């Protein structure tokens, strides 16, 4: 049976999930670049980008050139993860998103039809993600899930009609390969037909590794995303990646939120 024909599983549990922030902004990268969206950012991640292992103190030195720009969702050595964090049931998350939608207060505005679920790693909270995906489908809204592609989404989430912005991590993240490359999860995401493969790049070595991973797993739709939390760094890495992207048939996105607001949270 095609995944598109599988029934949507409606989770009955309403176990609270840890939320770093809910906000309204533009999707800053990828196929929906510049599109207005409602964002859900979960706490917690199973990777430690920028470090070979979890930092033990706020002075732990970075070991990779690709640093995580949302360390405040998982790095307890450097950040107080409880600051501003809330534990909300999936339905409470949905209700707050609807209140954030400016069309709730002013129905004359064009509707917002995109919800971006991110983190951290949102698939650590799969029940909550599935509930949001189901609610979005009932409301005729599209969902993009930002994932590091190490956790299998499962047929129920694929059947809910979401898209996956699958951000495989490269060696420049300093995360050991056995932790960042999970073949079963990669193959399930690719087989779903709903994955867009996003690679954060800052060096020519990154580009060579993207080509190797594409060949190894038969990855289709590839997007290069420039590493950087300042406009200058984003533009530098876009220029580095532009010609190779055209040569290999890859897409190249910018990071619009960084160009506008720098590294501000909830943007």
Domain architecture of the chain: domains with CATH? 3-54+67-196 (3.20.20)
- 249 is an annotated ligand-binding site residue: no
- 118 is an annotated ligand-binding site residue: yes
**Contact residues for 266 (Cβ-Cβ < 8 A; gap 6+):** 21, 23, 25, 39
- 217 is an annotated ligand-binding site residue: no
- 120 is an annotated ligand-binding site residue: yes
Q: Report in angstroms the alpha-carbon separations of 99 from 23, 41, 93, 154.
A: 10, 16, 10, 30
**pLDDT value of residue 13:** 63
- 41 is an annotated ligand-binding site residue: yes
**pLDDT value of residue 4:** 43
- 14 is an annotated ligand-binding site residue: no
Read off the pTM.
Answer: 0.92
- 108 is an annotated ligand-binding site residue: no
- 193 is an annotated ligand-binding site residue: no
Provide the residue-wise pLDDT of the chain in tens; the chain has 267 residues.
333 434 444 445 689 999 999 999 999 999 999 999 999 999 999 999 999 999 988 888 888 888 898 999 999 999 999 888 999 999 999 999 999 999 999 999 999 999 999 999 999 999 999 999 999 999 999 999 999 999 999 999 999 999 999 999 999 999 999 999 999 999 999 999 999 999 999 999 999 999 999 999 999 999 999 999 999 999 999 999 999 999 999 999 999 999 999 888 888
Residue whose entry in the numeric block shows the structure tokens 């990669």: 186
């Amino acid at each position: 049976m095609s995944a598109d024909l599988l029934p949507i599983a409606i989770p009955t549990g309403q176990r609270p999930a840890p939320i770093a922030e809910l906000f309204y902004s533009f999707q800053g990268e990828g196929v929906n670049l510049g599109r207005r969206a409602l964002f859900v950012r979960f706490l917690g991640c199973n990777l430690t980008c920028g470090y070979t292992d979890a930092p033990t103190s706020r002075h732990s030195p970075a070991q990779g050139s690709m640093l995580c720009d949302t360390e405040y969702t998982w790095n307890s050595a450097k950040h107080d993860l409880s600051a501003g964090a809330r534990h909300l049931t999936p339905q409470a998350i949905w209700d707050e998103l609807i209140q954030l939608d400016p069309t709730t207060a002013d129905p004359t505005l064009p509707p917002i039809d995109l919800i971006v679920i991110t983190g951290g790693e949102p698939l650590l909270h799969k029940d909550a993600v599935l509930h949001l995906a189901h609610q979005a489908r009932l409301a005729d809204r599209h969902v993009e899930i930002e994932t590091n592609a190490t956790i299998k989404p499962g047929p129920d989430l694929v059947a809910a009609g979401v898209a996956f912005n699958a951000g495989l991590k490269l060696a420049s993240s300093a995360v050991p390969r056995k932790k960042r490359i999970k073949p079963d999860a990669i193959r399930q995401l690719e087989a779903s037909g709903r994955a867009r493969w996003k690679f954060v790049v800052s060096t020519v070595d990154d580009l060579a590794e993207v080509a190797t991973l594409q060949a190894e797993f038969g990855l289709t739709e590839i997007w290069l995303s420039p590493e950087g939390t300042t406009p200058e760094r984003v533009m530098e890495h876009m220029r580095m990646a532009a010609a190779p992207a055209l040569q290999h048939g890859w897409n190249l996105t910018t990071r619009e939120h960084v160009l506008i607001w720098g590294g501000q949270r909830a943007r």
